[in-house]
Amino acid sequence: MGPGMLLAMFGILVAGSIFAFFIGDFTASGNGTVSANGQVTLSQTQQIQEHVLQKREQIVANQWQTGLDASQIEQVQTQQVNVPSALLMSIGKVVNNLQPLQASLYYGYFMPQYTWIHEVDIKETFHDVTTCTPKGTCKTTCVENQQETPVTFLSYANTWDGTLTDTYVDVTTGHAGCPDGVWTSTWELLSSHRTYSWAKVWNLFAHIKTQQGTFIEDTANRDVLAGMIGAVDPSLGDPYVQHMVSGFNMVFQTGGLPPAGSNEPLPSAKVMSILQQAIGIVMAYNTAHDISGGVNESWLPYLAIIVMHESGGNPDAVDPILVDGEHASGLMQMLPSTFVSDHLGAYTDIWNPLDNAISAIGHIESAWGNPTNIPGVVAGTGVYHGY
């Protein structure tokens, strides 16, 4: 199987996983219940099943906590050098659609290593104590009280996406001596240096094959995995994850794919699946023909917007208005001549929604470069007028 065909398989099977993870549909492709307004939601039974799955993954991911006290656990979590359950879930999705769960196997590739330093914080207080004898002779003495508090700090961590090195310094404040002196010696963070690398992620995929073959190290696959991780836990500071999260935020804030629970309409789950397949097929074609800068998974919400503008999700829609003697037709309202010029291979049926979407993606690539360049697709760019 060549790299182009392999990418096509991943494009069809994995490209929709980001959307599925957004709505908590971890073992499917976003095919929850479609409400009257087009919003995809999960049934109560599905929600319970997916919640149980997520909790099981979390238990495995939390193994790093063994032997650490509450303060150490808090430091690890604050600095994000733990193993996120979102990582294990996303890898499981790619490897075998989380069936069966193999989180313990994946965890072995990411088990973090920590180095701790142990110091003592000191606080000294001073106050005068006056004592008098029965004869009235008084004497004032300066009394010192010292309080020592053991402290433990994380100085180094080697985790799933890189390393962390923290440096601490002893800071003294106040003054010693009576009548009311207070002197402290406390250890404080001086500097923190973080390096990021996905070497461990790609090492895992070099040893663990997916049901479709090897999940190769490339930008598209990294974005898919980072997108799924970010959909589950958008707070992670990993730059690849945040790159995808920033894209999600832009979509949500500028009129793109509505998050679950909103009242904005989406195409049906079936149409979303078709768009996902079309993206994967065109991505595979572009890879096989060394075409760069074309469609990727981030196009999905924008294509969904275009579908709703053009046909309302109806693959049999026909525009009664003639354009150069032709009626725009099908899911993405392609003019027959444009459909023919932009179709791929055997995908030649304008009334087949998959074929229609594939041709539409090709047209957007050549005419617009990116769907965000089409007026009206992104909020604040004018009224939608077609593409």
Read off the pLDDT of residues 58-79 as tens digits, 9 standing for 90 and up: 999 999 999 999 999 999 999 9
Could you check whether the bond before residue 100 is cis, i.e. omega within 30 degrees of 0? yes
Residue 6's pLDDT is 32
Is 335 strand, coil or helix?
A: coil
Q: Which 8-state DSSP code applies to residue 231? A: H
The owner of tokens 């006290």 is: 69
Question: If residue 52 lies in a helix (H) or strand (E), which one and from where to where?
Answer: helix 44-61
Task: Compute the distance between CA of residue 310 and CA of residue 331 in angstroms, rounded to an integer.
Answer: 8
**Structural domain spans, the chain:** 1-110+198-264, 113-196, 267-387
Mean pLDDT throughout 363-387?
A: 81
Mean pLDDT throughout 93-106?
A: 92
Residue 224 banded pLDDT, cuts 50, 70, 90 = confident
Q: Is the pLDDT of residue 347 over 50?
A: yes
CA distance readout (Å), 21 to 14, 58, 225, 253: 11, 15, 11, 19
**Helix extents (H) in 15-43:** 17-22
Mean pLDDT throughout 8-27?
A: 57
- Comparison of pLDDT for 21 and 373, the residue scoring more: 373
- The burial class, CB within 10 Å (0-12 / 13-18 / 19+), for 268 is middle
Region of poorest pLDDT, from 92-96, 111-115, 231-235, 380-384:
380-384
Helix count (H) and strand count (E) of the chain? 13, 8
Task: Compute the distance between CA of residue 309 and CA of residue 299 in angstroms, rounded to an integer.
Answer: 15
Question: If residue 280 lies in a helix (H) or strand (E), which one and from where to where?
Answer: helix 269-288
Task: Compute the distance between CA of residue 194 and CA of residue 164 in angstroms, rounded to an integer.
Answer: 5
How is 133-165 classified by DSSP, letter by letter?
Answer: -TTS-EEEEEEEEEEEEEEEEEEEEEETTEEEE
Mean pLDDT, rounded, of the chain: 84
Mark 326-344 as b/e (b = at least 16 C-beta within 10 Å).
Answer: eebbbbbbbbeebbeebbb
Given a contact cutoff of 8 angstroms between Cβ atoms, the answer to whether 282 and 357 are in contact is no
Mean pLDDT throughout 275-300?
A: 84
- Comparison of pLDDT for 122 and 255, the residue scoring more: 122
Residue 49 banded pLDDT, cuts 50, 70, 90 = confident
Global model pTM greater than 0.75: no
Into which CATH architecture does domain 267-387 fall?
Orthogonal Bundle (1.10)
- Cα 94 versus chain centre, distance: 14
Question: If residue 204 lies in a helix (H) or strand (E), which one and from where to where?
Answer: helix 199-207
Task: Compute the distance between CA of residue 325 and CA of residue 328 in angstroms, rounded to an integer.
Answer: 10
Mean pLDDT throughout 278-300?
A: 84
Residue 263 banded pLDDT, cuts 50, 70, 90 = very low
Helical axes 85-96 vs 219-232, angle rounded to 10°: 130
Work out the angle at residue 177's Cα, subtended by the Cα atoms of residues 175 and 179, and round it to the nearest 5 degrees: 110
Task: Compute the distance between CA of residue 104 and CA of residue 257 in angstroms, rounded to an integer.
Answer: 34
Read off the pLDDT of residues 28-38 as tens digits, 9 standing for 90 and up: 755 555 444 44
